[in-house]
Amino acid sequence: MMRAGIFFILATVLLVLLMRYGAAAEPEYADIVFSRKTPGADEIPAAVFPHWVHRINFKCYVCHDAIFQMKAGAHPVTMDAIRDGKFCGACHNGKVAFPVGFDTCDRCHHQ
Ligand code: HEC
Ligand code: HEC
Ligand code: HEC
């Protein structure tokens, strides 16, 4: 009986800590909505970068600052650059991650 009580208290403390610090860290890894730097291409919504999904797969330094600075909007990303293997294109080339193709546009471009 005693043991179960202590276990319950420990489990509760752990849960409270997780909720508190887990939630506090979240905003840093939230989705980043890109702002379009190319005028006249508004028929397709701006790209959304899901930070969290990438953070699970890679250490920070894989992207920061080798590919991206730690600052939203810091880069003039374009499709030409991506197709050239820069920015997202360093991985979204069909080898490391899904490539740019007409069946994948809306995985990056959605609202
Ligand atoms: C797969 C690549 C990738 C990985 C891995 C990654 N990031 Fe990022 N990060 C980005 C991109 C892309 C941006 C936005 C850059 C832009 O808008 O030009 C960004 C932006 C940021 C920003 C700025 C956010 C803002 O609102 O200004 C911070 C802070 C950041 N990252 C921290 C981290 C940390 C900490 C890690 C590891 C835990 C990490 N990133 C892992 C790609 C990555
Ligand atoms: C791996 C993610 C990704 C995929 C897949 C992708 N894009 Fe993009 N695209 C971006 C990013 C990031 C930008 C820069 C931010 C913005 O303008 O939305 C961009 C920019 C654009 C732009 C602005 C003008 C330009 O040429 O840069 C257009 C239009 C565009 N994409 C269309 C498309 C179309 C059409 C497809 C499918 C054939 C596609 N994108 C696939 C990430 C992607
Ligand atoms: C360091 C490599 C790397 C870079 C750089 C990178 N990605 Fe990814 N991305 C991945 C991997 C790996 C996955 C998961 C495998 C897959 O879906 O093909 C992924 C998955 C995604 C997904 C799907 C997430 C989901 O919910 O399943 C989107 C959307 C995406 N990336 C957008 C982007 C955009 C936009 C950029 C540039 C701003 C970018 N990525 C840069 C490696 C990368």
The predicted-structure confidence for 41-72, as pLDDT tens digits, reads as follows 888 999 999 999 999 999 999 999 999 999 99
Distance from C-alpha of 31 to C-alpha of 49, rounded to nearest angstrom: 5
Quote the mean pLDDT of the chain: 87
pLDDT of residue 100: 97
- Please tell me which residue, 79 or 14, carries the higher pLDDT value: 79
Task: Compute the distance from residue 99 Cα to the ligand 2 centre, in Å.
Answer: 12
What 103-111 contacts at long range (C-beta under 8 Å, 24+ apart), as own/partner pairs, is 105/44, 108/47, 108/48, 108/49, 109/44, 109/45, 109/46, 109/47, 109/48, 110/45, 110/48, 111/45
107 lines ligand 1 (CB under 6 A): no
First to last CA, the chain: 53
What average pLDDT score do residues 9-38 get?
71
Mean pLDDT, rounded, for 26-55: 86
Q: Ligand 3 pocket, 57 CB below 6 A?
A: yes
pLDDT band at 17 (very low <50, low <70, confident <90, very high): low
The preferred substitution site among 68, 96, 108 for testing ligand 2, maximizing ligand atoms within 8 Å of CB, is 108
User: What share of the chain in percent tops pLDDT 70?
Assistant: 86
Give the pLDDT score at 24: 45
The answer to whether the CB of 19 is under 6 A from ligand 1 is: no
The position carrying tokens 């970068």 is 49
